[in-house]
Amino acid sequence: MRRFTYWLFPLIAAAVAAFIVIFMVQINPSVPLSERFSAEGKDVSFGNAGAEESSWLERFSQSKEKGYFYPVNEVHLVLDAGETPSVPNYRLTVPLKDSYELFCVKQELHNKALPYFLQREGDAMTLLVDSNDQNTLASLVTKLKTYQITATLSPYTEEK
């Protein structure tokens, strides 16, 4: 039994080392990426290094690899709605003084299922609510007056 335990630990160490070597070879093959694509039947040819750098995105889109997301910092959409909508949009502006007012306004907005935008400039916070329903926003203004919170309702025009 001692002889078995004497050789057991070196055998386990050798098996782990072999596993690590095989794993490293599989994840980092010696064949370059462009040759692997051409070996799979894809015709990929690069004239020079500059062409390779400019077409990496095209090469990636052709490879159909899963699990990669392009880094996006900002998305700008231009929609052609055709006609302008006949229903005007309204904006409710609530200047907040403390966290209690923020809590009260958030609860009322949650009850009415209205989305909001919190804008912070230094120490001043302003809560903005955009909606097409003027009656809902007007009732919200009267409800906020019971909490002694001032709110202004105005037609919303997009600033350019």
Q: Residues 20-75: pLDDT tens digits?
A: 999 888 887 666 655 555 555 544 444 444 555 556 666 666 555 555 556 666 77
- Residues 158/108, Cβ–Cβ less than 8 Å: no
> What pTM does this model have?
0.45
If asked whether residues 94 and 150 sit together in one domain, one would say yes
What pLDDT is recorded for position 59? 61
- State the amino acid at position 94 in one-letter form: V
In a domain, 82, yes or no: no
The average confidence (pLDDT) of the chain is 78
If asked whether residues 95 and 146 sit together in one domain, one would say yes
The number of folded domains in the chain is 2
In a domain, 71, yes or no: no
In a domain, 72, yes or no: no
Read off the DSSP letter of residue 147: T
Long-range contacts of 43-46 (CB under 8 A, 24+ apart): none
- Residues 108/145, Cβ–Cβ less than 8 Å: no
Structure tokens at 144: 């906020």
The residue to which tokens 């062409």 are assigned: 51
In a domain, 81, yes or no: no
What domain range includes position 37?
A: 2-63
